[in-house]
Structure 1
């Protein structure tokens, strides 16, 4: 079991939103406190990054756009030294859309990834998943 450092950012996301937590626990104890609720913003005008398939659904485009917006938020925070450790918890598709858009400064701070959807899960379930 990997120790989750105090102050680590835990981002729990899917294609429709994200919850940002800070680990307030000490030692091996994970105790998450929600800091922000991130939702998609201006999806039509912003749009996804990169080349997308022509037959892609509107929902898939919206999810890709949100992944880009979340990556921008995390990159900006990493470059401002707002966190030193990052944990990403997301469904595999969202993780796949997020990873290539993360700056090197953000990527080097990732200490754990959990490829599972926890977006609507209670905090206790998220903490439990991090403790295993």
Structure 2
């Protein structure tokens, strides 16, 4: 894990929601505050990005649709310069769905990607998972 800059956005997500956190620590200390909970909206009317295999369940389609919504939210924030650094922590499925939807500007700001399911974890557990390991 790299050093997480002060003010960096940490997005902890799974297929059903995301938590937007901000690092208020300094130096090597990661201290998080929760800024927002991002929930899926209007899943039935929006649908996922790209083509989906016909054997996907409605729950899988809803998760893919939320991944698209989250990517759109992050892209809009990056283009408005709302954050300079981003850490994205999500389960493998969600990461795989979000990654190709991220705008180049969003990807440039990504300092770390964490393949872990931490959406329901307490802040202390997320902070431990983000500590530098060098």
Length-normalised TM-score, structure 1 = 0.98
- Measured in 2, the distance between the counterparts of 1:77 and 1:8 equals 13
- Measured in 2, the distance between the counterparts of 1:119 and 1:7 equals 20
Residue of structure 2 in register with 1:106 after alignment:
106
Deviation at 1:3, TM superposition (A): 1.2
1:42-96 CA-partner distances (Å, limit 9, x unpaired): 0000100100011110000000000000000000000000001000000011000
Q: What are the ranges of 5 or more consecutive residues in structure 1 without an aligned counterpart? A: none
Name which structure has the greater RCO, CA cutoff 8 Å, separation 6+.
Answer: 2
Tell whether 2:5 aligns with 1:9.
no
- Measured in 2, the distance between the counterparts of 1:66 and 1:15 equals 6
Residue of structure 2 in register with 1:48 after alignment:
48
1:12-46 CA-partner distances (Å, limit 9, x unpaired): 00000000000000111000000000000000001
After the TM superposition, which segments of 4 or more aligned residues of structure 1 sit over 4 Å from their partners? Answer: none
Q: What are the ranges of 5 or more consecutive residues in structure 2 without an aligned counterpart? A: none
Length-normalised TM-score, structure 2 = 0.97
- Measured in 1, the distance between the counterparts of 2:59 and 2:115 equals 20
Residue of structure 2 in register with 1:63 after alignment:
63
Residue of structure 2 in register with 1:94 after alignment:
94
Tell whether 2:124 aligns with 1:130.
no
Secondary structure, aligned partner of 2:81: coil
Secondary structure, aligned partner of 2:12: strand
Residue of structure 2 in register with 1:34 after alignment:
34
